[in-house]
Structure 1
Amino acid sequence: MRLDGKTAIVTGGASGFGAGIARKFLTEGARVLVADINGEAAQDMASTLGPQATAHQVDVADGASVRDMAQTAMSMFGQVDILVNNAGVTHLPTPLEDVSEEDFDQMFRINMKSVFLTARELVPRMKHRGSGAILNVASTAGISPRPNLNWYNASKGWMITATRTMAVELAPNGVRVNAICPVAGETPLLKSFMGEDTPEMRAKFLSTIPIGRFSTPEDMGNAAAFLCSDEASMITGVAMEVDGGRCI
């Protein structure tokens, strides 16, 4: 029960890594706001997780929607101890000059602007209390980029830099900021990363992971629970690779 009594917001919490993080937080004693642009999926996930989970529909790229999410969490919990910026999108494997402006803009808004918007709403509250933990879900793509995912790689590199600069600025206020960097996993984004989901493509991708398997939502939940717990009170500004050795 390392998160006993803590409250958390998990964006993109209705599926994939976000759902794994929300589930682990609950088993560790936290109350969780499962925030997702798909309100119905968020409600289904919260119902599955039990009474300590609550659903909320949010567009993390829209300032008014993020403000409403923060206010909802504050009215329900009284405070937000943990913020997990997990919501993210990618583009299909494409030469960098051929990615559409629409796809680039969507990725900028969801992968990057959202971190600014959630920080704008929740960091002042954490600073006022003198405590808090923020976890950004980055990617191995931000450390060891692969061809044809150029702008996605760049967005996750941005998130890692944002994590480090937030950490150094907020440390004197008692707020820790870390990131986790998963390799591709069994999530709705897997097909987008690979371009096509075939046994041959899976085998090719898995050959780059020394441990020999994809990341799982449980892997991310375990890493997130540690970094957001008091056990990690001396850890801030790290981008933890949860990747089976992919970045070695």
Structure 2
Amino acid sequence: MGRVEGKVALVTGATGGIGRATMERFVREGARVFAFARQEAPLRDAVAQYGASVAYATGDVTEEADVARAVASCLEAFGRIDVVFANAGVEGVVKPLTDVTAEELDEVYRVNVRGTFFTLKHSAPPMVKQGKGSIIVNSSILGITGMAGLSVYAMSKHAVTGLMRTAALELAPQGVRVNSIHPAPIDNRMMRSIERMAAPDAPDAVRDKFTSFIPMGRYGTNEEIADLVLFLGSDESSFCSGATFAADGAFGAF
């Protein structure tokens, strides 16, 4: 029997590295997954690979109507929602805060903050009705620390950490748990983008610098983050709520 056998998980940002790895991990452990993302082709591929274990909707987490429609579609497809992984996010720009434009600030906040807020707002009610559920917010190690050049990203991730804590307090009496995960650099597209923005002519040097900040001496993997999400979505974490879970190779221990 799988660790989330019979559960239904809603995953936003399901076509990215962490989202896709989480979707696959949950399916392997017995869950059905409703995937939500902007691009349809990778979602169709997931259905082709996993069949009836996966359903999907396309849309934009920054649009409240799209998020509400995704939640309704999940309920229509599977009848319930047991786990929500609010994963959709963008890295934004890498530059000093004094150089950040209002448009750049708004772009990151629309996805990372508005999108996460709408996901929790619309997915919580069916779980409250069930009397049980688990919401996992993908923040960042920069949601509990900071780093020069990434002010907008860090600020947005601190915001969703605060949202997680507030939601955990509001929803605990109804049996719904809310936690956040805080990855350090993960070996995926987002980090490649950050490395190139930081030093277009020397992205490998940026990677080496980031790696030097991590006592374990390497980036994490999408699969390692998916394993943490699986734990928080399973009944193994039944008394965990309102907590920040770092997956950072001791980055945040300084």
Residues 184 and 193, structure 1, Cα contact 8 Å, conserved in 2:
no
Residues 11 and 84, structure 1, Cα contact 8 Å, conserved in 2:
yes
Select 1:210's aligned residue among 208, 215, 225.
215
The CA distance in 1 between the partners of 2:240 and 2:105, in whole Å, is 33
**CA RMSD for the aligned pairs?**
1.3
Residues 91 and 192, structure 1, Cα contact 8 Å, conserved in 2:
no
Kindly provide the amino acid, as one letter, of the partner of residue 77 in structure 2: M
Q: Partner of 2:189 in structure 1? A: 188
Residues 117 and 163, structure 2, Cα contact 8 Å, conserved in 1:
no
- SS of the aligned residue for 2:52 comes to coil
Residues 137 and 181, structure 2, Cα contact 8 Å, conserved in 1:
yes
User: Is 1:230 aligned to 2:230, yes or no?
Assistant: no
Kindly provide the amino acid, as one letter, of the partner of residue 221 in structure 1: A
The CA distance in 2 between the partners of 1:40 and 1:154, in whole Å, is 32
Kindly provide the amino acid, as one letter, of the partner of residue 238 in structure 2: S
- The aligned runs of 1:166-177 (5 Å cut-off) are 166-177=167-178
Kindly provide the amino acid, as one letter, of the partner of residue 147 in structure 1: A
Give 5+ residue unaligned stretches, structure 1.
none
> How big is each residue's C-alpha offset from its partner over 1:122-148, in whole Å with a ceiling of 9 and x where there is no partner?
211111111111000000011121001
Q: Partner of 1:99 in structure 2? A: 100
TM-score by length of 1: 0.96
Shift of 1:157: 0.6
CA 1:47–1:187: 2 relative to 1, 3 Å: farther
Q: Which segment drifts farther, 39-48 or 107-116?
A: 39-48
The CA distance in 1 between the partners of 2:244 and 2:102, in whole Å, is 29
Shift of 1:92: 2.3
Q: Partner of 2:162 in structure 1? A: 161
The CA distance in 1 between the partners of 2:149 and 2:65, in whole Å, is 33
- The aligned runs of 1:20-59 (5 Å cut-off) are 20-59=21-60
Shift of 1:244: 0.6
TM-score by length of 2: 0.93
Shift of 1:49: 4.0
- The aligned runs of 1:53-68 (5 Å cut-off) are 53-68=54-69
Residues 92 and 107, structure 2, Cα contact 8 Å, conserved in 1:
no
- The aligned runs of 1:84-123 (5 Å cut-off) are 84-123=85-124
Q: Partner of 1:147 in structure 2? A: 148
Residues 167 and 175, structure 1, Cα contact 8 Å, conserved in 2:
yes
Q: Partner of 2:245 in structure 1? A: 240
Larger fraction in helix: 2
> How big is each residue's C-alpha offset from its partner over 1:53-110, in whole Å with a ceiling of 9 and x where there is no partner?
2232120010111111011101001011111100000222111121222221111111
Q: Partner of 1:220 in structure 2? A: 225
